[in-house]
Structure 1
């Protein structure tokens, strides 16, 4: 955490030369240490995770995360766990979690080499390997990047209140890559390929204190790969928005300035199981001179719903209810349409029917204004 000067924005992306110097980062390149351990995992309030997802050519979808602790409730010392979500083409879904003892965790500060028990997540900004096996689900994947590692400016999003800045950081080691995957359920082994992604997040304050909610998604659509995120800060930060976009064509970045993006949500309804307002249509509209890109996600299915009150330890449930802690995580799939305009003339249009995106809803429910 850092102290701030009077008049500073409540929510900002750390992008000034002084920010790069303070954080020891190069504004023109990334480095392997940025994907290594960046926090003290035993410090209360800190958290960190390494994330992988893939859309596989056989129709399966796979998400694997390695965590130092639960990022929604990080007021503990090191409490590592591995989480696997596997959605099969036949409609079956599996979520498996391995909770480890602190001594079963290790991570390098020089680069990504994370071990939790017998599970491992490692790589060098180009090639990554992820292996995990929990109960009847086993996954072994190799991810080879096709787009260079990236971060928005420093990757540090800063939240200022009462003269103190708190941090949420984001490093995208593989914005898009080819995947060779082997997974099994109950010993039935499937080998396939696909498209994948890996990023790394960390922070120094509980997420629920900083962010009310966020939408995040990534996809490969035609020759374009994209990452799009829209954060709404918590009430203490005025519910201010912060948008990030990374758009590459054939591996070359063509748009990555979130300040040039307008975000709209349409057909908002209440998701009954979670009680959260969910947009059926989420659109990012990027404009820079004569160039314009619109990126529209249209929800067709909710793959996963997790109410955090259902997964906190039993001893903490009463306190969580008294605090009205009703955070939820939802993962969606549906259609993504990307359009490119030049001087308001449509020049390209591509559709992806298996896009994957999420809504993390950490704050108290805010119903849409009608």
Structure 2
């Protein structure tokens, strides 16, 4: 087993190259990463690709996607592990648990007074419409990756010490996780556990030999569990939050400050009848071409229908009430939509059209960042004929479900 102490640090390059010790970590079968809490003042090397020989995401490559993607954390980079679940019976009920390695300089939505780069964060929303959030700094983070899960009981685990937050994946293919919180300081105790019902999703799907991991320039993203059968049982300050729902796990990272990259960021996932859907639509700041970056994922009963980053295959647009800026696109700081319209283009002239409506605000400042839970409706449409006058035949309608979704708007009105 390789044990790596990652000394955190200012990016030299955005190239997919690594410090020698960091690169070798991804070729071992079992590696332990120990991440110190102090910000580092040295270059950080980033990983933006994964080996996929023959167009297959093998077990070892899959496990490596849950490892740290930077070999150090300085004030210009970020890396985090994200887990959530939303109730299928009541989308106002949800739980989000995130393990951050970042400073507030790199990701400005963290507490700027915290000295630790290791922050464990929890958000919860309840059936009465209320929400709660809490976080704790860790003194050390340990991430353990690799193996078959039989010898030591896990193939991916993370522990943010002195917070009571940890995750554990016990199956070799990372299809089952348990994330636990036991924090007297926050007065929170319980678990989120889930078993995957859809294959992993990489930004542009899985390519032959090597697959890129950037959703947009400088922004890495992997979605190891697009949709899962989840169970939440957690008590928060004496209130029990217990439900069955749609669960999810991904991770994001970057080799530079969030505000230097992002103009707008729309992301979400949901369960819509038999369909599992994930969307990501992104505009880069200071991009004179206004290029839209997307990643589109739809699976039906675990069979992938689309898994791609072709901008022609997904359109995401905000919706808003009259006399508001909620539906403005491209958006600016302060634009708060009522929901979103999604148009997924599938094979064989089929489209999945989805309406997303907000139910509960889970997090956000009302200007730059918002996260919601909500209900979704949709229909599967097959386009008949080849010309613009052709009619469409609705194949499946009245599809309903639940979703978790968010936005970042980082450009002020009047900015160039």
TMscore range, shorter length: 0.7 to 0.9
Aligned residue among 204, 212, 226 for 1:175: 226
Alignment partners' CA distance in 1, 2:256 and 2:69 = 14
Is the contact made by 2:264 and 2:282 (CA closer than 8 Å) also made in structure 1? Answer: yes
- Give the equivalent residue in structure 1 for 2:141: 105
- Give the equivalent residue in structure 1 for 2:316: 263
Is the contact made by 2:70 and 2:79 (CA closer than 8 Å) also made in structure 1? Answer: yes
State the 1:57 CA deviation.
5.0
State the 1:69 CA deviation.
1.5
1:129 aligns with 2:178: yes
Alignment partners' CA distance in 1, 2:77 and 2:233 = 33
State the 1:238 CA deviation.
3.7
Q: Secondary structure at the match of 1:277?
A: coil
Aligned CA RMSD, in angstroms, stands at 3.1
Aligned residue among 24, 34, 37 for 2:51: 24
- CA gap of 1:286–1:229, structure 2 versus 1, over 3 A, is same
- Give the equivalent residue in structure 1 for 2:166: 120
Scaled by the length of structure 1, what TM-score is found? 0.77
- What is the correspondence of 1:46-125 to structure 2 with a 5 Å cutoff? 46-57=77-88, 59=90, 60-70=93-103, 73=106, 79-101=117-139, 104-110=140-146, 112-117=156-161, 118-123=164-169, 124=171, 125=174
Q: Secondary structure at the match of 1:149?
A: coil
- Unaligned ranges ≥5, structure 1: 5-19, 160-165, 308-326
1:352 aligns with 2:395: no
> Which digits, 9 at most, give the CA deviation of each residue in 1:276-325, with x for residues without a partner?
11232422223344212212223354333237xxxxxxxxxxxxxxxxxx
> Which digits, 9 at most, give the CA deviation of each residue in 1:164-197, with x for residues without a partner?
xx52111111111111221002344454322200
Is the contact made by 1:42 and 1:78 (CA closer than 8 Å) also made in structure 2? Answer: no
- Counting matched residue pairs gives 323
> Which digits, 9 at most, give the CA deviation of each residue in 1:260-285, with x for residues without a partner?
223333337357xx961123242222
- What is the correspondence of 1:1-370 to structure 2 with a 5 Å cutoff? 1-2=13-14, 23-26=50-53, 27-30=55-58, 31-57=62-88, 59=90, 60-70=93-103, 73=106, 79-101=117-139, 104-110=140-146, 112-117=156-161, 118-123=164-169, 124=171, 125-134=174-183, 135-153=186-204, 154-157=211-214, 167-236=218-287, 238-259=289-310, 260-267=313-320, 269-270=324-325, 276-287=334-345, 288-306=347-365, 328-343=368-383, 344-352=392-400, 354-361=402-409, 363-366=410-413
Alignment partners' CA distance in 2, 1:109 and 1:202 = 18
Q: Secondary structure at the match of 1:32?
A: helix
- CA gap of 1:217–1:224, structure 2 versus 1, over 3 A, is same
Scaled by the length of structure 2, what TM-score is found? 0.69
> Which digits, 9 at most, give the CA deviation of each residue in 1:145-167, with x for residues without a partner?
111222123352276xxxxxx52
Q: Secondary structure at the match of 1:148?
A: coil
Give the number of the structure whose residues are more often helix, by fraction: 1
- Give the equivalent residue in structure 1 for 2:7: none
Alignment partners' CA distance in 2, 1:186 and 1:280 = 30
Alignment partners' CA distance in 1, 2:104 and 2:200 = 23
Alignment partners' CA distance in 1, 2:336 and 2:79 = 27
Q: Secondary structure at the match of 2:259?
A: helix
- Unaligned ranges ≥5, structure 2: 1-12, 17-46, 147-154, 205-210, 327-331, 384-391
- CA gap of 1:366–1:238, structure 2 versus 1, over 3 A, is farther
- Give the equivalent residue in structure 1 for 2:23: none
Alignment partners' CA distance in 2, 1:199 and 1:22 = 15
- CA gap of 1:109–1:202, structure 2 versus 1, over 3 A, is farther
